[in-house]
Structure 1
Amino acid sequence: MFFVAHIHFARRNSLVAQIFSALRDENVFSSRNYCLRDELIFVAQCALDAKGTALWACKLAGSTDCPKGGATSLSFTNSKNININGLMSLNSQMFHIVINGCQDVRIQGVKVNAAGNSPNTDGIHVQLSRNVAIFNTSIKTGDDCVSIGPGTKDLWIEQITCGPGHGISIGSLAKDLEEEGVQNVTVKNAIFKGTQNGLRIKSWARPSNGFVEGVQFLDVLMFNVQNPIVIDQNYCPHNINCPAQVSGVKISDVVYRNIQGTSASAVAIKFDCSATNPCSGIRLENVSLTFRNQEVQSHCANANGKIVGSAQANSCL
């Protein structure tokens, strides 16, 4: 692991070039993560190309000889006062940017670019962190544009464009019995283009003391999105080794306001909540989605909430 502490990076600062030159020389992107910690300001106009295409191709071919794992392009752990400005991340082997156990983080003007079929290449992953803001960001990738893990509190995402990719996801949660909750998340002025999902909350069907509360999805445009609005508490990708239990994650106070655009499927709103911990306080306000110029359908299981103002006439809430 390459480690730097108490470093101030500024735009056009020669130290930026020296650090990233050293990282390239050490072949960091094929073997390790890049972590900066403790009282850090990181402001840079630069590009990181992790050259992940060979690893993606190996994985997609189903080969058993692929190198194990894969590197995250840029990872911050237990850090404070981080400012990432104008960064471009290309072709990450795994996640592009990870914010783990951090406080007071601002990410703006970032561009992420990877192939739409690149596996496990989440654009920005946030977990166990507080007071993170993501502004004016464009993410094209093969997995979640933004993934929000346990222990995330006070996250603000605004002016983000996503696609291709799997949308913005809270979760997956309930990986562990003891798990911190997700609280106070706002996504505002987002655009989704041809993504697999739009706004998603997902948890495994396992016992857990985790929770999701105080989430707002505001002023969102969808263009040909396969699953625009999803809460899935029976998450099990590829339906392999599914736990077949009931999710203990409690989901409450989730607002969808001014969500407009087109769905690539007839059922555009799916709330599949826990039988023992039903979703509560779900609020749909001014939600207008169409499928082939027709009003979309919705599906609800164990979901409680209400419609405010104009929303889909056939909403199942």
Structure 2
Amino acid sequence: MAPLVAPLDYGMLGNSENWFSFRDVSGVSIIGAGAFDAKGHSLWACKASNNNSCPSGATTLHFTNSNNIKIHGILSLNSQKIHIVINECQNVQIQGVKIIAAGDSPNTDGIHVQLSTNVEILTAPLKPVTTASRSAKAQRIYGSNKSLAVPVMASARELNEEGVQNVTVKKTTFTCTQNGLRIKSWAKPSTGFVEGVRYIDSLMRNVENPILIDQNYCPHNENCPNQGSGIKINDIVYEDIRGTSSTPIAIKFDCSTKNPCTGIKLQNVNLKYLNKAAQSICSNVVGKAFDLVQPNDCSEIMS
């Protein structure tokens, strides 16, 4: 099956918000072994040159306010920006989708799920899965890329935000990635929350940040708000997480000074650094550790 290929001139697509966009649809299925090749390399090179005139780039596949959507078996290559966005949708199944981009491609996230319910991502080798939704499930995710992560994003960009809840991530493998299991928010006032997140059965292979909660998120440390995140994080479970960290800090909980993380549970966690003992750093967090937990530097507050 011949791929759908974007123009080589990145400007023809880069000023559009999306390459393929679906809005207010029901029962749409995209099924098969075909590929979407967005030819993002030239736009990435433009951005790497610090050229302020570069367009922001287009998302490859975008669904908004839609329901009963199936995306099965496709390949998304070299997206200019995000590969797939699911926004304000219900009952979505993404299965067997492959997502590929270079490790130094800027902000080419894999799948964004936001303001949506009943979303399944199954057996998908891909780059980042970012969720800001209710009732999301990701299972059997495999990644090998510098930018890969399975982050839960409660942004705190706006004061009034909906919460993120009931997210389950199972059977994941990360190889030489920057982040593994990450929850992040800006240090700004917000009415939002994150609760009921389950990370189960993850294998880390040389990952920079295997387990991370970052409530002082500020890319490039420029114009950071430093106001204390209003996002309330509660009831987060890490179970059967194992493998190696590429940095000494394998577990970092950097929670809000105004809303400490509560209900954090670690069970059967075993992470090492270069086959040596790793470290954990915890601030403003209350939780419990069960069975084997290594590293255990936070044992005083994770009792």
TM-score (norm 1): 0.88
The equivalences for 1:167-316 within 5 A come to 167-171=149-153, 173-312=155-294, 314-316=296-298
2:140 maps to 1:159: yes
Q: Is the 8 A contact 1:202 1:232 kept in 2?
A: yes
- SS of the equivalent of 1:311 reads strand
For residues 43 and 65 of structure 1, do their structure 2 counterparts lie closer, same or farther at Cα, with a shift above 3 Å needed?
Answer: closer
Question: What is the CA deviation profile of residues 212-265 of structure 1, one whole-angstrom value per residue up to 9, with x for unaligned ones?
Answer: 000000000000000100000011011000001110000000000000000001
Match in the other structure for 1:135: 122
Return 5+ residue gaps in structure 1 as ranges: 1-11
Q: Is the 8 A contact 1:29 1:72 kept in 2?
A: no
Match in the other structure for 2:21: 35
TM-score (norm 2): 0.92
1:65 Cα deviation (Å)? Answer: 3.0
Aligned match of 2:83 in 93, 96, 110? Answer: 96
Amino acid at match of 1:116: G
Amino acid at match of 2:259: N
Percent identity over the alignment is 53
2:35 maps to 1:44: no
2:49 maps to 1:61: yes
- SS of the equivalent of 1:55 reads helix
2:139 maps to 1:148: no
2:108 maps to 1:121: yes
Question: What is the CA deviation profile of residues 71-110 of structure 1, one whole-angstrom value per residue up to 9, with x for unaligned ones?
Answer: 0000000000000000100010010000000000000000
Aligned match of 1:82 in 65, 69, 85? Answer: 69
Amino acid at match of 1:220: S
1:23 Cα deviation (Å)? Answer: 8.5
Aligned length: 291
Q: Is the 8 A contact 1:286 1:309 kept in 2?
A: yes
For residues 172 and 210 of structure 1, do their structure 2 counterparts lie closer, same or farther at Cα, with a shift above 3 Å needed?
Answer: closer
Question: What is the CA deviation profile of residues 160-213 of structure 1, one whole-angstrom value per residue up to 9, with x for unaligned ones?
Answer: 012212411111510110011000000000000111010000000000000000
Amino acid at match of 2:36: L
- SS of the equivalent of 1:51 reads coil
RMSD (Å) for aligned C-alpha atoms: 1.8
Question: What is the CA deviation profile of residues 108-163 of structure 1, one whole-angstrom value per residue up to 9, with x for unaligned ones?
Answer: 000000111111100000100000000000114xxxx11113xx000000000122
For residues 172 and 63 of structure 1, do their structure 2 counterparts lie closer, same or farther at Cα, with a shift above 3 Å needed?
Answer: farther
Distance in structure 1 (CA, Å) of the matches to 2:83 and 2:166: 24
Return 5+ residue gaps in structure 2 as ranges: none
- SS of the equivalent of 2:292 reads coil
For residues 268 and 22 of structure 1, do their structure 2 counterparts lie closer, same or farther at Cα, with a shift above 3 Å needed?
Answer: closer
For residues 238 and 32 of structure 1, do their structure 2 counterparts lie closer, same or farther at Cα, with a shift above 3 Å needed?
Answer: closer
Match in the other structure for 1:5: none
Distance in structure 1 (CA, Å) of the matches to 2:6 and 2:43: 19
Distance in structure 2 (CA, Å) of the matches to 1:160 and 1:190: 5
Question: What is the CA deviation profile of residues 23-60 of structure 1, one whole-angstrom value per residue up to 9, with x for unaligned ones?
Answer: 88xx9844342222321231321100001110000101
Q: Is the 8 A contact 1:29 1:73 kept in 2?
A: no
